A and B are shown apart, each in its own frame.
Chain A
Amino acid sequence: MSRGLAAAADGRCSFVPCHVRAPAGQERLADHGGLRDAGGAAGERGGVSVVAAALVAALVLLTGGCLAVVCAAEAGRRASGAADLAALAGAVELRTGGDPSAACAAAARIATANGARLQHCTTDAADVKVRCEASSRWSLPGVRRSAVRSARAGPDPAS
C-alpha cells in the first residue's frame, strides 16, 4: 500500500524514502497490486464484522426468547407444586379438623412455605380447591415473572 501511494505521488517520493522505491516497471505492478489489495481487505473486513455482529445479535435474541420460556416454566412449576401441596395440606386438615377456615389456613401456610401466595381457597364437601401464585427466581425485562396455578385435593374416591 505504501508503494502504491508512492507511485500515486508521481515519482516525487513524498511518502516513502526514495531508496524504498522500485524501478519504474515494477512500480507499476506494485501500484495495481497495492490498490487491489487495499480494496479487497477493506471489503472483507467490513463483511466479517457485520456477519459476526448479526450472529451475536441473533444468538442473544434467541437465548433471550428461550430464557423467557424457561422463566415462565419455572414460575409455573413453582406455582403448581405449591398449589398441589397446599391443596393436600388443606384436605388433610379438613378431614382431621373439619373446619374449612382451618383447612385454608393450613393451605396458606404450606403455599407460603413453598414460596407462593395463596390467592383463593374454597372447600367443597371434603375437597379443597386452591389457587396459588408464584414468581420466578429470575427476572427478564419485559417478561411477566409470576404464574398462577390451581389444584384440588380430597379423599380418594376408591377407598
Chain B
Amino acid sequence: MATAELAVVLPTLLLVLALCLGALDLGLDTVRSLGAAGAAARSLARGDAPAAALAAAHRSAPAGATVSVTTSGDDVRVVVRCPRGWLARALQLQVVPSGSAVAAREDSGPTTGQPP
C-alpha cells in the first residue's frame, strides 16, 4: 500500500522540485543577462573597443548566450539572449531569459561613472 502510494508521491515531489528549480534558473539567468548587457553598453558608451566589450559581456553572461549590438543614431543597444532553459523546452514555453541595455555613445574623452 505505502509502496504504491510512494510511487505516486515521489514523481509528484520531483516534478514540483523541477518546476521550482526551473523558475529560479529563469530568474537568475535574467539577472545575469541584464548585468552583462548593462556592462557591455556602458563599456561601449565610454568608447572602449567593441571586441573588448563583447568579450566582457560573454564572460559575465550565462553560458551559451548570444550578445548582439545595434547602433542607431547616437544610441547603442546591447541585447543578451540566453538559450531557452530545459524547463521552457520541456513545457514548450517561449520564455527566454534576456536582458538589454541602451546607452548614448560618447566618442570623445573619458568620463567616470560610479554609484555615489
Contacts and interface: CB of A to CB of B under 8 A. Distances in A.
- Give chain A's interface secondary structure class: helix
Contacts of A153: 111-114
Contacts of A95: 109, 111
A40 B49 CA distance: 73
Contacts, number: 136
A81 B111 contact: no
- Give chain B's interface secondary structure class: helix
Contact of B110 (A41, A59, A114, A156): A156
A153 to B, nearest CB: 4
Contacts of B48: none
Given A44-B1, A81-B34, A152 B101 contact: no
A22 interface: no
A56 B112 contact: no
Contacts of B12: 52, 56
Nearest to B77: A113
Interface residues of B, number: 40
26 contacts: A41-B1, A44-B1, A45-B1, A45-B5, A48-B9, A59-B13, A59-B17, A60-B16, A60-B20, A67-B27, A74-B27, A81-B101, A84-B42, A88-B45, A88-B103, A92-B111, A106-B104, A109-B104, A110-B75, A113-B102, A114-B101, A152-B114, A152-B116, A153-B113, A154-B111, A159-B110
